Structure 1
């Protein structure tokens, strides 16, 4: 382990260069921050929820502790959504977010918790109207959409946040401090895994590795199926898509990688100063043109970053896990999901330093990264003129791009070629120089009537 004087990254240097994502969230009058913040810090925001039957309900519960909930929007007024309506009886109710934004002029900020394929459209429309935006993860459905939202947030000068709540945790900060302390040496390898979409041996959270259902049940009276479909090609309604089970379908969701990647990759990206990979590889179970595979392994290669060496980040889903490595005794359990950092001198699994002899001889640094006031509170304070939230679009956009690049490498149309080569990525041109036919998956043509 290096001495305090010769650490790979100095604490003072990192804090100075990373203040945009690790700030102290000090609230200042909104007029001090040009274009940022429509209300004074002492006032309450008027917030609208769009997509409120699932995670959107949880988001609303948190911000309602301090702010006003003035509008609620969902394409399906089912029992779950009606319960949310009952919770906020003064809020106006809508099915179409466009009508809500047109008709209700007192909205300061919106929470977007719809299926992945409509995140970008709704978030962009809100920003164009000067609304602050909190968007659930992954930020978007396509790589192009993520880039466009990042640029739009910069242009419209609104406060933004992606819903990867773990970035605000003290646990994330402690892992970063230990890695920067150099205890396991330079890191050239990280493994990240999840059991999603599996729930158990005989059950899944959502369908993957299946074909489109052939029966066409009637659309529930509570649901506007055309609005749910949004920019995707129109198909008959089926309960295999909604509610919630949309995540595994290519047209609507981003699979296990999109569901968990923005959570699990966040601390890795912060600790190791990652942004865009140079290449991506993927292998998987059988694939089709409807859903993501049941299990996959995606490998990202990142270039050296100043004093940090090149890095290989490997993702596993569907219950697949990394191989056991030296220093991992029988008592070391990988579990259903986790993160393993592999350095030249040791490893970090979760919060555990391996081997145990290294952990026993190591004194962890005193905490120095300031605690977050809370993931959603970061966004609330940013809306009122405070520091940018920790997962604002400037951070969340590139993170989401990396996650979604993995899904491109899993496309059935590319599978044969990618069995023999990696997919090179040019972040400036948003293209794949060694496989131009993959460029079509950076984005897709929206259904008529929808545009970003």
Structure 2
């Protein structure tokens, strides 16, 4: 493979990348009429990345009754499997390997759902928005902090929706938890602990030597999506293990941090972190995230008469010390394998999974956690009605003419926390994050990682 830079990748159209359909004419500026047919009863939708969370995307689009115009994936085997599943319900759907060719060919798209590896999110979303498409991205929103800022600007510039998936928010139990915590059911929160058994993929290693033959169904250069070139190795990157590599993923924190931390950011109105520090790092290398870590972020008081908040992230199977969480241990025998605990002045609240469906609480003086729905303090707060799947919420909002969800104010500080935490796992010491300037004060090494994991590329603003 040649040494194509990511900037060159953005500007070059590769021949032969489309399995069906396609055109070679350039795309101009988006007209107001083209920019939106929101409010339409049936949307024209494409999905980028069709396996894993991508399958959840295209199944949701099909179930919602919208038209799947196209699927795109660099792996032809995955594309054909999805096509076969959808053959009866989505006739005429076209298949692409190259997202750029898709956007050139499909001029009537309303929206695109992106479920590709992290390093491609910003590039693919930018192409979509510049052509008037509304965008939904499976978390995390982007691979780097600078990319997130660029996408926010592009969404405003082209007057299109930019949504990040939030699976926990679809659970009624989660939404009730947000309401109760915002109402002060456990008092002012001073500590948040989140933990996960992930990574369940390799981390803390080095790049293997040599190369393997690229499978005939895979376009390896398209998979790299402009990241620094490297040889293909079977089962090292594609289709799952990319998560542990700096160039492609965000480790365990980048993978599931948006889900596990959604509750405190929604409920506590946390802003961007003031400082982030990797207190423990086990096995990080020059190219991969650590096998396990503990990262601490400090937040200024989110409102008057409320205290500052310290958030601690644990991964690699590490959990808060049992002595620190006596109520949890007494109730469950041990901390669950993943969860998020909020410690307030008048009690504790536990989300005991990654998806938001299991909520537990105990007030001060109570020795055991109980299901929040059965606690007397929650009786006056009924369980909200069932909510649509996170993808369907996006599509329904477009049909209603709504570009921005009414509960999206937490996304930017949440992403800043996740991505500054990923940087802290790579750069030792206490890092002071300056959200307004988009840099770390007094630390050029950390600031270089804000811009891009690939220093040869900058998204055009």
State TM-score, norm by structure 2: 0.82
Moved more, 87-96 or 52-61: 87-96
Between 1:88-97 and 1:233-242, the stretch displaced more is: 88-97
**Which whole-Å deviations, capped at 9, do the CAs of 1:11-31 have from their partners, x for residues lacking one?**
xxxxxxxxxxxxxxxxxxxxx
Map residues 310-325 of structure 1 onto 2, 5 A cutoff: 310-324=308-322, 325=325
> Does 2:232 align with 1:237?
yes
Q: Which has the higher contact order (CA 8 A, sep 6+)?
A: 1
Instruction: Show the counterpart of 2:3.
Output: none
| Residue 383 (1) aligns with residue 398 (2) | yes
Alignment of 1:275-290 (within 5 A): 275-282=271-278, 283-290=280-287
- What corresponds to 1:440 in structure 2? 448
Task: Kindly indicate whether the alpha-carbon contact (under 8 Å) linking 2:45 and 2:70 is maintained by their aligned counterparts in 1.
Answer: yes
**How do 1:171-320 residues align onto structure 2 when only pairs under 5 Å count?**
171-197=173-199, 205-239=200-234, 240-282=236-278, 283-307=280-304, 308-320=306-318
2:433 paired residue among 415, 420, 425: 425
Instruction: Give the direction of change, closer, same or farther, for the CA distance of 1:358–1:448 in structure 2 (3 Å limit).
Output: closer
Q: How has the CA–CA distance of structure 1 residues 451 and 347 changed in structure 2, closer, same or farther, with 3 Å as cutoff?
A: closer
Instruction: Assess if the C-alpha contact under 8 Å between 1:188 and 1:312 holds in 2.
Output: yes
Deviation at 1:353, TM superposition (A): 1.7
Counterpart of 2:23 in structure 1 is: none
Deviation at 1:387, TM superposition (A): 3.5
Q: Which residue of 2 aligns with 1:345?
A: 346
Report how far residue 356 of structure 1 moved. 4.1
Aligned residue in 2 for 1:71: 70
Change (3 A) 1:37 1:379: farther
Separation in 2 of the partners of 1:194 and 1:40?
38
Alpha-carbon deviations, 1:112-148, whole Å to 9, x = none? 1110000000001101111011111111100111111
The structure-2 alpha-carbon separation of the partners of 1:353 and 1:436, relative to structure 1 and needing over 3 Å to count, comes to: same
Q: Aligned equivalents of 1:260 and 1:186: distance in 2?
A: 26
SS at match of 2:440: coil
Secondary structure in structure 1 of the residue aligned to 2:438: coil
Inter-partner Cα distance in structure 2 for 1:395 and 1:100: 32
Deviation at 1:396, TM superposition (A): 2.9
2:330 corresponds in structure 1 to 330
After TM superposition, give the deviation of residue 286 of structure 1 in Å. 2.2
| CA distance in 1 between partners of 2:253 and 2:406 (Å) | 18
Once residues 195 and 149 of structure 2 are traced to their aligned partners in structure 1, the CA distance between those partners, rounded to angstroms, is 26
How many residue pairs match? The answer is 404
Shift of 1:374: 3.3
Q: Provide the residue aligned with 1:21 in structure 2.
A: none
Change (3 A) 1:288 1:40: closer
CA contact (8 A) 2:273 2:297 kept: yes
**Residue segments in structure 1 that go unaligned for 5+ positions in a row:** 1-33, 198-204
- Cα offsets for 1:39-85 (capped at 9, x unmatched): 3635211111111122111111011121000111111112x331102
Which of 56, 60, 64 is residue 58 of structure 2 equivalent to?
A: 60
Query: Is the contact between residue 194 and residue 313 of structure 2 (CA under 8 Å) also seen in structure 1?
Result: yes
The corresponding residue for 1:30 is: none
Residues in 1 aligned to 2:453 and 2:418: alpha-carbon distance in whole angstroms: 21
| Shift in Å, 1:450 | 8.1
Inter-partner Cα distance in structure 2 for 1:141 and 1:349: 29
1:38–1:383 contact (8 Å) kept in structure 2: no
Q: Is the 8 A contact 2:180 2:378 kept in 1?
A: no
Map 1:131-142 to 2 at 5 A: 131-142=133-144
Q: Is the 8 A contact 1:193 1:316 kept in 2?
A: yes
Measured after TM superposition, the shift of residue 35 of structure 1 is 8.5
Q: Is the 8 A contact 1:158 1:383 kept in 2?
A: no
CA contact (8 A) 2:327 2:369 kept: no
State the distance in 1 between where 2:413 and 2:123 align: 18
2:122 pairs with 1:120? yes
Counterparts of 2:179 and 2:453 in 1: how far apart (Å)?
44
Contact 1:231-1:448 within 8 A present in 2 as well:
no
Gaps of 5+ in 2: 1-31, 352-358
String of CA shifts for 1:286-343, please: whole Å, max 9, x gaps: 2111110000111111111223321001110000000123444533331110011111
Partner residue of 2:47?
A: 49
